[in-house]
Structure 1
Amino acid sequence: IGIEKLNAVNMGALIYFFEFSCALSAYTLGVNPFNQPGVEDYKKNMFALLNKKGYEKESKILQKRILSKDV
């Protein structure tokens, strides 16, 4: 990602891009990113996708969902 000029408009666009990306990835994982339980679920899913110890079962479920053609 490149920013030609550091100003309010470009910074706003960059923040929007990352907020949108976060929301989209949460919905892809089946999580509502706009409520606290959704935030907690998203965090657990990210731990699972990063193969954090203790999240092996969730990791297998998410990998299967992500690779499924039905998503």
Structure 2
Amino acid sequence: MSAEQMKAEKDKAAARVLEKLRKQEEAAREQFASEERRKQKEQTKRLDGLMMSLDVIKLMEDFNRRRERREMKDNY
């Protein structure tokens, strides 16, 4: 095998390794992005739940305030 053939074989092998690494990096980036999207979705869902809870608390406070006013009016 001549020196040129050996260099060509090494270059081919290096190109295969580089391509494999590029694919692994791409897969890792996609997995990271997917995980970030999942985390963002989970946080959004949690925030929506907290906002709904806050709305319920506000409604209950309104209801209680109105009830107290009605009771005060009834007592006078």
Q: Which TM-score tier does this pair reach, normalised by the shorter chain?
A: 0.3 to 0.5
Q: TM-score, normalised by structure 2?
A: 0.33
Q: TM-score, normalised by structure 1?
A: 0.35
Instruction: Say which one has the larger Rg.
Output: 2
Q: 1 or 2, which has the higher helix percentage? A: 2
RCO (CA 8 Å, sep 6+): is it higher in 1 or 2?
A: 1
